[in-house]
Chains A and B, each alone.
Chain A
């Protein structure tokens, strides 16, 4: 990862990004959206879990590179309290369904919209990922291509029981 990318990642961890963005410590904007199986997904229902909220799209190469890692983390850390939620920013569900038929993931996928993006400070590029603590507060935001090993360390440290 280049210095500029690391700088972006660190800046968002510390500052939460530009004005208007969801900052660390802010409550994660709640939402209810329908997943691809037709069931409602309500973010607040995941209180008590560490939520990795990933905005992505089927045409976004960097997003597709991240998804197998998120899938692996869901399997590895799910029992410890991690819940990955994918929010597709595709314009319709057809390309999402086609993609997931070929590359299924063990976590729910919902279709996002522009208003949800705005509430999360503007999803004006992909991928973007928010880490939300067990109390429903955002503690990290990652934009663009990031160091997934670093993200995993952050998640693992939050999931670990206090010494």
Chain B
């Protein structure tokens, strides 16, 4: 039995594919897993808290991509920009600049699967660095559509 050896060209092409494509565009982003568990809130729990009219509502900020926010977002939430880029982080800092440090803030993204989200940990870290101590992060495992909208939790569209 003979074993067919790959050509050098095929090996080089495979390497190009692996090295050139497999890394995310922002491979240096901090993973969402760095956010402490006690800061997380599950979508169902957050939806229930929003439905409880007696409770004061936190400031809800979406830190993902605008085209998703425009299609559907949590009613009352504000878009501040993708926290993976400097512009988005600056907008986040500006939005909270005048707030007391004990303000209740909930941030969410859901642009893509949790473990590969480029935005959420950057946003959480920025708020921590500014001294905000009452920040919750919605734990969106797959994406906003799957874990929020498809479950029937309330959404609002800007279209």
Q: Which residues of A contact B (CB under 8 A)?
A: 8, 17-18, 57-65, 67-68, 72, 89-91, 95, 99, 102-103, 112-115, 117-118, 122-127, 143-145
Q: Is the CB of B71 within 8 A of A124?
A: yes
Q: How far is the CB of A146 from chain B (nearest CB, A)?
A: 11
Q: In chain B between 18 and 33, which residues have their CB closer than 8 angstroms to a CB of chain A?
A: 20-27
> Top 7 nearest A-B pairs by Cβ distance?
A125-B143, A61-B24, A124-B145, A114-B70, A18-B150, A68-B21, A61-B116
Subset of 19 A-B contacts with CB under 8 Å: A18-B150, A57-B111, A60-B24, A60-B25, A61-B27, A68-B20, A90-B65, A91-B65, A114-B66, A114-B158, A122-B149, A124-B72, A124-B149, A125-B68, A125-B112, A125-B143, A125-B145, A144-B143, A144-B146
Q: In chain B between 79 and 93, which residues have their CB closer than 8 angstroms to a CB of chain A?
A: 82, 84-85
Chain B residues, Cβ within 8 Å of A143: 142-143, 145-146
Q: How far is the CB of B144 from chain A (nearest CB, A)?
A: 4
Q: Which residues of B contact A (CB under 8 A)?
A: 17, 20-27, 65-68, 70-72, 82, 84-85, 110-113, 116, 118, 142-146, 148-150, 157-159
Residue of B nearest to A144 (CB): B142
Residue of A95, A112, A114, A118 with most partner-chain B CB within 10 A: A114
- Interface residue from A68, A102, A118 paired with B157 (Cβ < 8 Å): A118
Chain B binding surface, main DSSP class: loop
Residue of B nearest to A21 (CB): B150
Q: Is the CB of A123 within 8 A of B21?
A: no
Q: Is the CB of A124 within 8 A of B143?
A: yes
Chain A residues, Cβ within 8 Å of B17: 68, 72
Chain B residues, Cβ within 8 Å of A125: 68, 110-112, 142-146
Residue of A nearest to B141 (CB): A4
Summed over the interface, the residue pairs from A and B with CB atoms below 8 Å come to a total of: 117
Residue of B nearest to A90 (CB): B65
Q: Is the CB of B142 within 8 A of A124?
A: no
Docked pose: A50 CA to B150 CA in angstroms: 28
Q: Is the CB of A99 within 8 A of B111?
A: no
Q: Is the CB of B159 within 8 A of A89?
A: no
Q: Is the CB of A60 within 8 A of B110?
A: no
Q: Is the CB of A62 within 8 A of B116?
A: yes
Instruction: Take A18-B150, A114-B67, A124-B145 as given contacts and tell me if A144 and B112 are in contact as well, using a CB distance cutoff of 8 Å.
Output: yes
Docked pose: A123 CA to B111 CA in angstroms: 9
